[in-house]
Each structure stands twice: as C-alpha cells, then as structure tokens.
Amino acid sequence: MKRQWLPPKCAQLMIQLVKLANKERMNMTAVLTPPAAKTRGGATGLEALEMGAARIRVDDKKIINCRADLNQLVPFKYEWAWDKYLVACANHWMPTEINMTADVALWRSNDGLTPDERMIIERNLGFFSTADSLVANNLVLAVYRHITNPECRQYLLRQAFEEALHTHAYQYVIESLGMDEGRVFNMYRELPAVAHKAAWALPFTESLGDPSFHTGTFEANQRLLRDLIAFYVVFEGIFFYVGFTQVLSLGRRNKMVGTAEQFQYILRDESMHLNFGIDVINQIKIENPELWSASFQREMIDIIRQGVDLEYQYAIDTMPRGILGLNAQMFREYLEYVANRRCSQIGLAEQYPGATNPFPWMSEMIDLKKEKNFFETRVTEYQTGGTLSWDE
C-alpha cells in the first residue's frame, strides 16, 4: 500500500492531536486510579501501576507493604516460594482416583469396625470437611491481598486450590460411605470439640478479612503476622495432627484403607502448606524485626499452648476409650512434641522439655518417597515426590 503524503499543516495538526490524546489518556489514568493508591503506603502492585515505570528489580520486592508491580512474576526474590509452587503442581492428585470399594464394604459390615473406630472416622470427617474450607476462606478473603509478592501469591493460589481439593476428598468419602452429609458437615457447629477449634480460629481471620483493614502500620503488620502464625502454625500445624494420626493408624491395620489413603495425600499437601507458611512468617520477621517483640513472642507462645490444649481435648472427645495402639495420653505427648517443633521453626523457645514422638511412623509417612505405600493399593510418590522434605 502506498503511503499518503500530508501537507505540513495537516502533519502539524496530527502531531497536536496525538499529544492531546496522550494528555487525555494520562488524565484518565489519574481519574481511574483509586485515591488510596496515592496516599496509602501499603498500596498493592495494581494500585501503584504507573505507565512507563522502570523494570522491577529484585530489591524492589517485599513480602508485605510492597509497591512493586504485582503483575510481574519475575525476577524472583523468594525462590523457595516458586520452588514450592512447582512441587505442589507436580504433586497433583484427585480424590476419585482412589478406590473406595473396600471401605464401603467394611463400613456397611456389622462387625467390620468397632463403635470407637466408627466414631473416629465420623468425627474426623466432621472436623476436616469444614476445616479446609475455613483455611481456604482465610487465604482468599484475608491473607492473599496482604501478601505483596507475586511468587508467594502464586503458591497461595495453588494452596487455595488444594484446600478445595481436600474438601472434595472429604465429601467423596462421606458420599461413598453413605453417611448423612448434613449431619457430618454441620458437626463443627454441634460437636463441642470440633466447634471449639473453629471458634478459636475465626477471630484471627475476621479482622484481616475486613475490607477496611490494610497493612502499613506497626499494629496492622503485627496483626497479619499473628493471623499467619495462628493459621499456619496452630490450625494447620497442630489442629490437624490428631485426626491424621487416628485415621492413618486405622490404615496401618488394613482398615478403611481408601479413606486413609486420601488422608495420606492430604497430609503430604498440608506438610507443604505448613513449610510455606513458616517460610513466610520468618521472612516477615527478617524484613520487619520490630514486629518480633518480647511481648509479641509471649503472645504467640500463649496461642500455641492454647492450640495444644484444644487439640488434646479433641483427642479425648474423638477417642474417649482408646483403640489398639492409641490412647488420648499418647496424643498429649505427641502434641507437645509437635508444638516444640513449631516453636523452634519460628524462633521461639520449646515449651515442653523432654517431649518425645510416640508415633515415629508418622514421620515415615510424611517422608514416604518411592516405595509402595503401607495400604498396598497404589504408589503414592508424586511426580517429584522425592523432592519433598519435612523436619518434623
């Protein structure tokens, strides 16, 4: 196509029109930019977006209160977050891949399970079926918008999906066994030991989920750190371990092997969630050392101790008489051992001197790599299962 020649006056007019259009575009950008982005120190990348801004540098990135463009995934500052995201993707599984036939037959059998074993299955499904939804809501509605780093957000999105996947798994088990779904899903509002754990966790997410809440001040930053410790260290790092141990113990005795296998996959995911959360917590401490005051540390020790007490009561309520190889007092020892690990992982002093692990096979379960799983139903190594680590 032949170029059209423009007279000088027309060319000048075109240049003026282009300049005017550019000016209007800049004015429109200013109008559309939320006022908070101009004044709030904790503006997110989208709020702080600027036309023609310089490329993002690694040093521009921070876990919280970062004004760098969150749309730009690279360059990575926190390689550990991206590595965990990749491993989590390679670990993908679906609940419907697991054969539940043997579980259905055992559950329907009159003498297949003792009443205490049935109670363990029912009450743990009652807790976990809503617990992972609570965690997912906290991630999506509260935590995600306050974490101002794209590679960490990438993992949070994967974690939120996995929490939904876990809820799917519990629903699949409940449906397969023909349980009363309404009764099981409502158990967290009816069974005291389940309700108390949910009630304990809710205040930590409600304040962060308030649309008017923003980080950027000492008090707000500390509130976010408190929420992360409550959910990652206590809710996912302590509250899940009695139930996991109980169900997996049944699997080791060749009972409810499909349900136990679902829990084994979920445990593998949850160990990654916990490790990610601990890395985020410690990174916030490094970048904001003033938050980790002596009084705040004492408060965190208190909530960890509260978590141990609540989970021990849950062990009593789900297993009042004990079953073969398990009793409530063993769980007290185990919870104190786990709590010591959680304290040391975030830089707190261990609170229960001399606590030991009465269930060493649980560590073996988490560290499982290429060998056949103990249920002998399928290989549980994920695509990169050998890269998973755990320092329980």
Judge whether 270 is annotated as a binding position: yes
Answer yes or no: are the C-beta atoms of 221 and 205 closer than 8 Å.
no
Can you tell me which residue has the tokens 């290429």? Answer: 370
Judge whether 163 is annotated as a binding position: yes
Judge whether 236 is annotated as a binding position: yes
> What is the distance between the terminal CA atoms of the chain, rounded to a whole angstrom?
71
Judge whether 371 is annotated as a binding position: no
CA 104 – CA 176 distance, rounded (Å): 7
**Which of these is catalytic: 85, 155, 170, 334?**
170
Return the HEC string of the chain: CCCCCCCHHHHHHHHHHHHHHHHHHHHHHHHHCCHHHHHCCCCCCCCCCCCCCCCCCHHHCCCCCCCCCCCCCCCCCCHHHHHHHHHHHHCCCCHHHCCCHHHHHHHHCCCCCCHHHHHHHHHHHHHHHHHHHHHHHHHHHHHHHHCCCHHHHHHHHHHHHHHHHHHHHHHHHHHHCCCCHHHHHCHHHCCHHHHHHHHHHHHHHHHHHCCCCCCCCHHHHHHHHHHHHHHHHHHCCCCCHHHHHHHHHHHHCCCCHHHHHHHHHHHHHHHHHHHHHHHHHHHHHHHCHHHCCHHHHHHHHHHHHHHHHHHHHHHHHHCCCCECCECHHHHHHHHHHHHHHHHHHCCCCCCCCCCCCCCHHHHHHHCCCCCCCCCCCCCCCCCCHHHCCCCC
Q: Is 352 tagged catalytic? A: no
Judge whether 132 is annotated as a binding position: yes
Residues placed in the known binding site for Fe cation: 132, 163, 166, 236, 270, 273
Residues placed in the known binding site: 132, 163, 166, 236, 270, 273
As annotated, the active-site residues are 170
